[in-house]
Structure 1
Amino acid sequence: MSKPLYNDSGFEIKPVYNSKDLPASTNGAQEEAPGQYPYTRGVQPDMYRGRLWTMRQYAGFSTAEESNKRYHYLLQQGVMGLSVAFDLPTQIGYDSDHALSEGEVGKVGVAIDSLEDMEALFQGIKLEEVSTSMTINATAFILLSFYVALAKKQGADLRQITGTIQNDILKEYAARGTYIYPPKPSMRIITDIFAWCSKELPKWNTISISGYHIREAGSTAVQEVAFTLANGKAYVAAALNKGLDINVFGKRLSFFFNAHNNLFEEIAKFRAARRMWAEIMKDLGATDPKAMMLRFHTQTGGSTLTAQQPLNNIARVTIQTLAAVLGGTQSLHTNGYDEALSLPTEAAARIALRTQQIVAFESGAPDTVDPLAGSYFVENLTAEVVQKATALMAQIDAMGGAVAAIEAGFMQDEIARSAYAYQQGIESGEKIIVGLNKFQVAEETDVPVFRIDDSIRESQSQKLAALRAKRDAAAVERCLLRIKECALGTDNLMPAVIEAVEAYCTLGEISDVLRGVYGEYR
């Protein structure tokens, strides 16, 4: 008799599944229709037969001018949407010439200090013709304002502009760390974005509630679902408290999940999350079917990539791509095989994109909707993810919701425990990672890596000095004062911030005004 086998979420995996393992709700087969509540089988009736997922490639490094070159390259290679990575100073509200920015400018993403940089970033790209996703949280409202100001300069119809800002601050407190302000004022900024976009930027996804970084920090698949949806509930509650219509803002909520290597667990996770979110939104008062849909972007798992035998990562990314597609994602970014070593080279980025294209056009995976529905194993796993994630969410609700659970350290502690257990499994050899703790080779093949020059900070600082010398200083002061007045009062912040960026106030200046009002979270 073989010993029991468990997956990373702690589910015992049986040697064989049969009809007795199907949840009672399936009656021996999955009877739900795709495109209908509760959307377990997908958010569109025909899914990829009608339209493939959006193939995004996450990119951003160095200066706006250098990143712009990569964007044009990716668009030429067949990318359908851009996804912008920002450097650490931009993420936490410091200009490139701030003392705390030293050593970080342009390193993990592009440095964006002002509208001038945003203009350079999208030089030669019409914003009405691309969908842009921006991975930005604490300063999301400023980067969105830069984007809106640029769209206006291009003469674009704001009602036709499409894209997403991550804008998910709660997971920053729980898993990632690029927060600035305390939770309550941060939630106020987020609901201001919801309200403004619902009127002025109706096709924009105002938040991408992210499980990706929760998983990267070491959570299990179940925790990724539970903590992400709990955060989603907190954003919905905040918007409802502000008097916003759930059937309006609910349609612009989107999600961002990780894809790891356990193919069937990941597919079940995506199916379970859709079902759970539909039921949550219905319970919170949504009546429009589109406000109950969980639409999500997927990125393959950065933390699963190994620096040892890095070409093995191409196989890992392929498995993760299949998991996302078979699980019904709306858009997808595939990691470069070299990302455990550096930012991806152009060659690695091209292979990552080609992986998506091969799955799309050669594998047959998109040809039918939810092809694993009715599988004894997948239906059982889906039901088990729902059950365990729902129980974990009930614990969070009992604590007073996601904000209270984060403030109490509950989510952080649960993630840390799971990460520790996973690492123990690797070190003991119980969890095999090919090329890392088994099937090693004595010599590694040299892989070219992408390096960022430290001189970027100097060039950005020079650009900032030139900008400050030529802009209207009095207009800058008026705009910053108006932001402060809005922050102290109840007026929506977005119009004041857009006016400020149009006057070429910098990201750091705007962030500092709000630091003065709200303080910093410690």
Structure 2
Amino acid sequence: MFDEEDLHEIRASHEEWQAETLDPALDAHGERRDRFATVSNHEVDRLYTPADISNLDYEDDLGYPGEPPYTRGPYPTMYRGRTWTMRQFAGFGTAEETNERFHYLIEEGQTGLSTAFDMPSLMGIDSDDPMSQGEVGKEGVAVDTLRDMEILFDGIDLDTVSTSFTINPSAIVIYAMYLALADQQGVPREQVRGTLQNDMLKEFIAQKEWVIPPKPSVDIVTDVVEYATENTPKFYPVSVSGYHIREAGSTAAQELAFTLADGFAYVEAALERGLDVDSVAPQLSFFFNSHNSVFEEVAKFRAARRIYERVMTERYGAESGAARRLKFHTQTAGQSLTAQQPLNNIIRVTLQAAAAVMGGTQSLHTNSYDEALALPSEEAVRVALRTQQIIADESGLADIVDPLGGSYAIETLTDEMESEVMSYIDEVEEMGDGSIHDGVLRGIDEGYFHREIQDSAYEYQERVDAEEETVVGVNKHTMEEDTRPELLHVGEKSATRQIERLEQVKEQRDDEAVAETLTALEEAILAGENTVPYVIDAVKAYATMGEIMQVYEAEHGSYTETISVT
């Protein structure tokens, strides 16, 4: 990219600058600290020059937006055409309460819905299960039957909205309920738009929510991918999630490496099912975290697209642009939010959102400033949404495609991120004897991912405790007085109301029809058929979340994590 003679002159002038300008300044004033590093503890240089990117090939490594390797963006005009989808996470209490919040967000200008579920729903058990006591509606909305889904989207036309569902072990049930609701509204399935997280590999690696063992869990994910590819082409059946890997304490490179490895594992599972890579890959989306180190995050997002394009092309033979183009949702870092001085979180979220935008995200959730203390209040949600709107309409960040592209620092960090990520992916592939899918499953079984993330989290906390890592309001610039804002409280009345509705649905439904659909699901599992159509039939009969998931557990068994120590 640069002439060798010019590079020689730049290196010489750099050395001259160091001797004549930098060294006297360091002798006189020094610097704030001896070492400068990102949140991931990746050391950054004081200054970057063309010499740092002397091997960069513009066409092969950068190119143009909308063209391989998509480093500069998946689409040619990016936000000049339309802004990213502003998709604020919402869900608490009953379906009625969350429906009210949905309508509020739509009125405030949100352009996509994102649904949070309570722990019983996430774990595939019903609100009246003894294990659900104290958890119903507390960290998301409770959904037991299709009746809850009907209320949740009351007054919302599914042909005009895109909805994201953050749910994993029981994701197939939520997908079935959404399609059943679309059928009720008369919306053709090929027009249904949304995203299902449905990333079970991430669960075994980081978030730790599961019902059945890893291998059959991946089979269910593949069922949904196969069905969606053929029936709901505008609906993303899996959102491969690095967000929770990062929240568990990983570095930025580990987040990206383990997420991409999971994505490639799903591709291999689909190919094993006989699906075509150019049909399946466009159905995949990704979900990343955006943390405090702005330049590291921008580099991560850019490296993600480049790595994905190269691996999908060279390893899996993808030919279409849609199959080689990585698309992703971003959420600002919940891990970075502090209970101390919570208004400081507005600034953190703004910087993290700006990094996601400069990195080229397709949709964005900005955390609310009070989320380290409780589910977000309406005021906090509004501020979070306004943060995105100000970035989009006032900052100018949406006006230039890949605004940091060509920066010596950003290009160097992008290259370094790519190198570290590929080292991890190669290690996973080696564990699987050439199969990334098998390598991920083996890594889960042997605790490889767990140990890598745990070590990084421990090292970060050590740096915070030693004040090598500054957390404003926690280990620096602290205050004694209470700074907590007014918080949202979900009372027990919500749980009582939910359980009463569940009882009512059970009384009114046709139990014989429910039993027939559950038996058909059991037979489909035994026969190795795609189970999505059978789950749709079950939810239409108003079988509960727990009843359906119990069928899978009865056939595949439960799962208890065992971590081998090496």
Bin the TM-score by the shorter chain: over 0.9
Aligned to 1:312: 344
Aligned AA (2:526): L
Is the partner of 2:63 in helix, strand or coil?
coil
Which of 105, 108, 116 is the aligned partner of 1:77?
108
Distance 1:397 1:203, change over 3 A: same
Give me the whole-angstrom Cα distance separating, in 1, the residues matched to 2:483 and 2:372: 14
Give me the whole-angstrom Cα distance separating, in 2, the residues matched to 1:395 and 1:31: 26
TM-fit CA distance, 1:435: 0.6
Aligned to 2:372: 340
Aligned to 1:252: 283
Which of 361, 375, 382 is the aligned partner of 2:393?
361
Q: Deviations over 1:488-508 (max 9, x none)?
A: 111110111001100110100
Instruction: Tell which deviates more after alignment, 396-405 or 385-394.
Output: 396-405
Is the partner of 1:367 in helix, strand or coil?
coil
Which of 99, 116, 130 is the aligned partner of 1:68?
99
Aligned to 1:188: 219
Aligned to 2:150: 119
Task: Answer yes or no: is 1:515 the counterpart of 2:559.
Answer: no
Aligned AA (1:35): G
Aligned to 2:464: 426
Q: Is the 8 A contact 2:39 2:292 kept in 1?
A: no
Is the partner of 1:248 in helix, strand or coil?
helix
Aligned AA (2:349): V
Is the partner of 1:25 in helix, strand or coil?
coil
Aligned to 1:7: 38
Distance 1:456 1:31, change over 3 A: closer
TM-fit CA distance, 1:154: 0.4
Which of 406, 411, 415 is the aligned partner of 1:379?
411
Aligned to 1:53: 84
Is the partner of 1:133 in helix, strand or coil?
strand
Which of 523, 526, 539 is the aligned partner of 1:488?
526
Q: Is the 8 A contact 2:517 2:538 kept in 1?
A: yes
Q: Is the 8 A contact 2:62 2:70 kept in 1?
A: no
Give me the whole-angstrom Cα distance separating, in 2, the residues matched to 1:147 and 1:208: 16
Give me the whole-angstrom Cα distance separating, in 2, the residues matched to 1:31 and 1:476: 55
Give me the whole-angstrom Cα distance separating, in 1, the residues matched to 2:483 and 2:542: 48
Aligned AA (2:318): A
Distance 1:150 1:31, change over 3 A: closer
Aligned AA (1:519): G
Give me the whole-angstrom Cα distance separating, in 2, the residues matched to 1:205 and 1:175: 22
Aligned to 2:505: 467
Q: Is the 8 A contact 1:30 1:374 kept in 2?
A: no
Aligned AA (2:534): A
What value does the CA root-mean-square deviation take over the aligned residues? 1.2
Q: Counterparts in 2 of 1:81-160, with a 5 A limit? A: 81-160=112-191
TM-fit CA distance, 1:381: 0.2
Q: Is the 8 A contact 1:23 1:380 kept in 2?
A: no
Distance 1:28 1:125, change over 3 A: closer
Give me the whole-angstrom Cα distance separating, in 2, the residues matched to 1:440 and 1:501: 52
Aligned to 2:9: none
Q: Is the 8 A contact 1:28 1:374 kept in 2?
A: no
Q: Is the 8 A contact 2:368 2:383 kept in 1?
A: yes
Task: Answer yes or no: is 1:352 the counterpart of 2:380.
Answer: no
Distance 1:481 1:28, change over 3 A: closer
Give me the whole-angstrom Cα distance separating, in 2, the residues matched to 1:28 and 1:19: 17
Q: Is the 8 A contact 1:63 1:106 kept in 2?
A: yes
Is the partner of 1:35 in helix, strand or coil?
coil
- Give the total of aligned pairs: 522
Could you list the structure 1 runs, at least 4 aligned residues long, displaced by more than 4 angstroms after superposition: 27-31
Give me the whole-angstrom Cα distance separating, in 2, the residues matched to 1:309 and 1:117: 37
Instruction: Name which one, 1 or 2, has greater alpha-carbon Rg.
Output: 2
Task: Answer yes or no: is 1:302 the counterpart of 2:334.
Answer: yes
Distance 1:322 1:486, change over 3 A: same
Q: Counterparts in 2 of 1:265-304, with a 5 A limit? A: 265-282=296-313, 283-304=315-336
Q: Is the 8 A contact 2:290 2:331 kept in 1?
A: yes
Aligned to 1:35: 66
TM-fit CA distance, 1:27: 5.8
TM-fit CA distance, 1:184: 1.0
Aligned AA (2:179): V
Is the partner of 1:132 in helix, strand or coil?
strand
Aligned to 1:404: 442
TM-fit CA distance, 1:202: 1.0
Is the partner of 1:341 in helix, strand or coil?
coil
TM-fit CA distance, 1:468: 1.0
Q: Is the 8 A contact 2:62 2:71 kept in 1?
A: no
Instruction: Tell which deviates more after alignment, 490-499 or 15-24.
Output: 15-24
Give me the whole-angstrom Cα distance separating, in 2, the residues matched to 1:383 and 1:94: 45
Which of 486, 508, 529 is the aligned partner of 1:448?
486
TM-fit CA distance, 1:334: 0.4
Identity %: 50
TM-fit CA distance, 1:102: 0.4
Is the partner of 1:455 in helix, strand or coil?
helix
Instruction: Tell which deviates more after alignment, 302-311 or 449-458.
Output: 449-458
Instruction: Tell which deviates more after alignment, 448-457 or 421-430.
Output: 448-457
Q: Is the 8 A contact 1:19 1:28 kept in 2?
A: no
Q: Is the 8 A contact 2:61 2:306 kept in 1?
A: no
Give me the whole-angstrom Cα distance separating, in 2, the residues matched to 1:360 and 1:460: 39
Distance 1:23 1:194, change over 3 A: farther
TM-fit CA distance, 1:29: 12
Aligned AA (2:559): Y
Q: Deviations over 1:374-405 (max 9, x none)?
A: 00000000000000110011111111121111
TM-fit CA distance, 1:441: 1.1
Give me the whole-angstrom Cα distance separating, in 1, the residues matched to 2:559 and 2:318: 33
Structure 1: any 5+ residue segments left out of the alignment? none
Q: Is the 8 A contact 1:39 1:278 kept in 2?
A: yes
TM-fit CA distance, 1:6: 2.6
Q: Which structure exhibits the higher relative contact order, with contacts defined as CA atoms closer than 8 Å and separated by 6 or more residues? A: 1
Task: Answer yes or no: is 1:458 the counterpart of 2:496.
Answer: yes
TM-fit CA distance, 1:446: 3.6
Task: Answer yes or no: is 1:165 the counterpart of 2:196.
Answer: yes
Structure 2: any 5+ residue segments left out of the alignment? 1-25, 433-438, 561-566
Give me the whole-angstrom Cα distance separating, in 2, the residues matched to 1:88 and 1:366: 36
Which of 390, 406, 420 is the aligned partner of 1:388?
420
Give me the whole-angstrom Cα distance separating, in 1, the residues matched to 2:494 and 2:391: 38
Is the partner of 2:398 in helix, strand or coil?
helix
